[in-house]
A and B are shown apart, each in its own frame.
Chain A
Amino acid sequence: MVIPAEVRSALVEHAEAERPNEACGLIALRDGVAERYLPGRNASASPYRFELEVDPEAWFLEDEGFELAVFHSHLSSPPRPSRTDIENIGLWEGRPYVILNARTGDLAAFQITGGQVTEKSLG
């Protein structure tokens, strides 16, 4: 997966804007390259939790040739899926999952399948 600088900036800006709460949204990719970020609303409004609310139509961008990645920020912990993330993966099992550490700016991509986390290369 490749997330170009302008999309990375959008992720960081959203994470900063949402402080002290976690930020979340969807990243739209085409052929493995992020084309744009669709900021969501964190319905939990919490520094420790996120519940993604986004325009329902965004979930159907795959019908237009995009692939989607779910994104959220961690405020202080490393950009690794937490136990809460793993337990709540639900329908997004096996699909792209991106986490930003809002403190360090570190960004990482994963797949979560059967409770197992696999880190994906990120350029």
Chain B
Amino acid sequence: MTRVRIPPTLRAEVGGAREVEGSGRTLRELLDDLAARFPGLGRQVLDGDGVAPYVNVYVGSEDVRTLQGLETPVEGTTVILLPAMAGGEQTVTPSILEAVGSTPLVELPRLAPNGRVRLFAKLEGHNPTGSTKDRVAKAMVEAAEASGELEPGRELLEPTSGNTGISLAMVAKLKGYPLTCVVPENATPERVRLLELYGARVVPSPASEGSNGAVRLALRLAAADPRLFMLNQYGNVANPRAHYEGTGAEIAQALDRVDVLVAGLGTGGTLMGAGERLRESFPDVVVAAAEPLQGDLVYGLRSLADGYVPPILDVARLDRKILVTNEESAAGTRALLEREAIFAGVSSGAVLHVARRLADELQEGVVVAILADGGWKYLSSGVYDLPEGELAPAMEDRLWW
């Protein structure tokens, strides 16, 4: 048996005892034994497959984080459970990279169908460069650094219509990697200009070939120069992981209930990552994709009927997949601005369109729409100003998302 000292903050969980005894060869076995006998203590001390973040464990007189963690042998020792205290000043952010994530989750009462269905929007445009891709870019670069694949001296290359490129440009600048972006030439000028301002080299690809053309050209460039490193957001597991650990976790922490999650279908990263995280907290949540109509020249949102399925996307994990026209997207974007004073991008209008449609199907519940970016990069497009009759022709042959 191993003696376990209980701090005053945890004694209520063990009937007020200052110490208890437990069995097990390793700390893991010991804590499992205690959790079985004192479930309340188990909930406070164990978190998934590890020690809970608010608890420190000492074996002998040493913190187990500097020993073997949960595999630390404990027989014949004294184990001490202690509060783990952390915090810190928040008004100063050490780097713009630390400002990625923790975006607002805003209720949209004026767009909800009735008082029993609550509609929320996750405003990803509040990330530093104005889109959810900041999460993905930071996660992909840091994962490549951690694995040793990305080292000083290498250069980054990414096919992108803008948002991912702009986010990568921010990350690359601060971490010291040159960045080349292959951009379809019908991307909005604001995006191309932003890429250049952040210091990326822009290589245009033919508009008529859409995003697939940009990917093909990037692959050719990478094959010709071994210094170039492609992060490939479509096949990089750090992409959905950023949404699992960030976007999804933030929503799960903020709400007691989520019945429907809606996000745009691009790389699939948001839907896979945030969807998976929300399923853990709300097993019956409906994960719904807003998908552009087949043939639309879109990049951020992608019609699977066009033939390309990103490797990170498992379509079987989508509960609903709803097509949205350009006009419906534009109408959704305008509704966000006119009804809720939220200035969002065009794909956000598509997501809102789907979110409202699914909200209409509910008698009661909570619908969360992830709005991928803000409206600034689309000011030149006419989406916010053109009369409705002129919108459809103006939106043809343009990359919107």
Instruction: Give the residue of B54, B61, B80, B89 whose beta carbon is less than 8 angstroms from that of A88.
Output: B54
- The distance in angstroms between the C-alpha atoms of A91 and B83, with both chains bound, is 6
- The distance in angstroms between the C-alpha atoms of A2 and B235, with both chains bound, is 59
Say whether B90 contacts A82, CB under 8 Å.
Answer: yes
Say whether B90 contacts A51, CB under 8 Å.
Answer: no
Say whether A90 contacts B94, CB under 8 Å.
Answer: no
B147 contacts chain A at the CB level, 8 A cutoff: no
Say whether A22 contacts B88, CB under 8 Å.
Answer: yes
B92 contacts chain A at the CB level, 8 A cutoff: yes
Q: A90-B53, A91-B10 are in contact. Are A50 and B91 (CB under 8 A)?
A: no
Q: Which residues of B contact A63 (CB under 8 A)?
A: 8, 18
A113 contacts chain B at the CB level, 8 A cutoff: no
Q: A56-B61, A91-B54 are in contact. Are A83 and B92 (CB under 8 A)?
A: no
Q: Which residues of B contact A104 (CB under 8 A)?
A: none
B363 contacts chain A at the CB level, 8 A cutoff: no
Q: What 0/1 pattern do residues 117 to 134 of B give for CB contact below 8 A with A?
A: 000000000000000000
Which residues of B80-117 have CB atoms within 8 Å of chain A's CB atoms? 80, 82-94
Q: Which residues of A contact B8 (CB under 8 A)?
A: 59-60, 62-63
- The distance in angstroms between the C-alpha atoms of A75 and B89, with both chains bound, is 8
Q: How many residues of A contact B (CB 8 A)?
A: 34
- The distance in angstroms between the C-alpha atoms of A110 and B85, with both chains bound, is 15
Q: Which residues of B contact A95 (CB under 8 A)?
A: 9
B7 contacts chain A at the CB level, 8 A cutoff: yes
- The distance in angstroms between the C-alpha atoms of A85 and B87, with both chains bound, is 4
- The distance in angstroms between the C-alpha atoms of A112 and B10, with both chains bound, is 17
Instruction: Give the residue of A44, A52, A60, A76 whose beta carbon is less than 8 angstroms from that of B7.
Output: A60
Q: Which residues of A contact B91 (CB under 8 A)?
A: 76-77, 82
Say whether A84 contacts B88, CB under 8 Å.
Answer: yes
Say whether B9 contacts A22, CB under 8 Å.
Answer: no
- The distance in angstroms between the C-alpha atoms of A24 and B83, with both chains bound, is 14
Instruction: Give the residue of A47, A70, A72 whose beta carbon is less than 8 angstroms from that of B92.
Output: A47
Say whether B88 contacts A44, CB under 8 Å.
Answer: yes
Residue of A nearest to B58 (CB): A56
Q: Which residues of B contact A50 (CB under 8 A)?
A: 85-88
Residue of B nearest to A62 (CB): B8
Q: What 0/1 pattern do residues 42 to 67 of B give for CB contact below 8 A with A?
A: 00100000000111001001010000
Q: Which residues of A contact B257 (CB under 8 A)?
A: none
Q: Which residues of B contact A75 (CB under 8 A)?
A: 89, 92
Say whether A56 contacts B82, CB under 8 Å.
Answer: yes
A8 contacts chain B at the CB level, 8 A cutoff: no
Q: A56-B58, A63-B18, A91-B10 are in contact. Are A84 and B83 (CB under 8 A)?
A: no
Say whether A22 contacts B89, CB under 8 Å.
Answer: yes
Q: Which residues of B contact A52 (CB under 8 A)?
A: 84-86
Q: A56-B61, A77-B92 are in contact. Are A90 and B5 (CB under 8 A)?
A: no
Say whether B90 contacts A91, CB under 8 Å.
Answer: no
Q: Which residues of B contact A87 (CB under 8 A)?
A: 87
Which residues of B292-310 have CB atoms within 8 Å of chain A's CB atoms? none
- The distance in angstroms between the C-alpha atoms of A52 and B55, with both chains bound, is 12
Closest Cβ–Cβ distance, residue A110 to chain B (whole Å): 11
Q: What 0/1 pattern do residues 54 to 84 of A give for CB contact below 8 A with B?
A: 0010011011000000101011110001111
Instruction: Give the residue of A59, A62, A84, A91 whose beta carbon is less than 8 angstroms from that of B87.
Output: A84
Closest Cβ–Cβ distance, residue A53 to chain B (whole Å): 8
Q: A56-B82, A60-B7, A90-B54 are in contact. Are A77 and B89 (CB under 8 A)?
A: yes
Q: Which residues of B contact A82 (CB under 8 A)?
A: 87-91
- Spell out A's residues near B (CB within 8 Å): 22, 24, 44, 46-53, 56, 59-60, 62-63, 70, 72, 74-77, 81-85, 87-92, 95
For the complex with contacts A50-B85, A82-B87, 13 further pairs of A-B residues with Cβ separation under 8 Å are A22-B89, A47-B94, A48-B88, A52-B84, A56-B61, A60-B7, A76-B91, A77-B89, A82-B90, A84-B87, A84-B89, A91-B9, A95-B9
